[in-house]
């Protein structure tokens, strides 16, 4: 199946992102699925996704029928106070980033169940890197330490661990990929 990668441009695409996100949120998947397929922690509103996308476009993958195959959200550090669950990340991250280093936070990545194990995860990051490399030095994200699937996938595409911390009784791993 042919997958195309691009930046999100329409409200319809943002609605599809929210729908896919809902299907994969931590509280909407079984424990077996969490272990085997991973899960999402952060829930975004359509309005916030739109605001974030106006600063830096989100990366999306579409299949031949135009269905959303996956997404990687771009979250500029200027949004650090807009998502409560991410505030502890910035407390850890801010001292680790050199003042001259420009980074983009990959706010969340998700591949639809029908498109997993087909290279979409890798393709989303390849497209995102291409889009960001002229303006940014690094992509940073955090992963729930219990999400082994996500940890392995991020390591496989070139992310390296920066730090670990605990917040809200969860252990988080902060990782970065140099552009």
**Using one digit for the tens of pLDDT, what is the confidence trace for 80-112?**
999 888 899 999 999 999 999 999 999 899 999
**Residue 35, pLDDT above cutoff 80:** no
Give the model's confidence band at 1: pLDDT under 50 very low, under 70 low, under 90 confident, else very high. confident
Q: What is the pLDDT of residues 105-155, one digit of tens each?
A: 998 999 999 999 999 999 999 999 999 999 999 999 999 898 888 899 999
CB half-sphere exposure, 137, CA atoms < 13 A: 7
pTM: 0.91
CATH architecture, domain defined by 4-178? 3-Layer(aba) Sandwich (3.40)
Distance CA 138, CA 97 (A): 10
DSSP 96-147: GS-TT--EEEEEEEEE-GGGTTTTHHHHHHHHHHHHHTTT-SEEEEEEETT-
- The domain ranges of the chain are 4-178
């Amino acid at each position: 199946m042919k997958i195309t990668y691009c930046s999100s441009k329409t409200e319809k695409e943002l609605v599809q992102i929210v729908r896919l996100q809902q299907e994969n949120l931590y509280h909407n998947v079984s424990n077996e699925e969490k272990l085997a397929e991973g899960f999402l922690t952060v829930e975004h509103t359509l309005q916030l996704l739109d605001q974030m996308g106006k600063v830096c476009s989100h990366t999306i993958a579409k299949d031949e029928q135009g269905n959303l195959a996956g997404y990687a959200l771009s979250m500029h550090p200027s949004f650090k106070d807009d998502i409560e669950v991410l505030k502890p990340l910035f407390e850890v991250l801010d001292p680790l980033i050199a003042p001259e280093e420009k980074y983009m936070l990959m706010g969340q990545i998700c591949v639809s169940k029908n498109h997993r194990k087909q290279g979409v995860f890798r393709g989303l990051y390849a497209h995102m890197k291409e889009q960001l490399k002229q303006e940014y030095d690094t992509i940073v994200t955090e992963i729930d330490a219990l999400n082994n699937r996500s940890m392995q996938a991020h390591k496989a595409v070139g992310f390296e661990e920066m730090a670990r911390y605990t917040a809200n009784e969860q252990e988080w791993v902060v990782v970065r990929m140099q552009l």
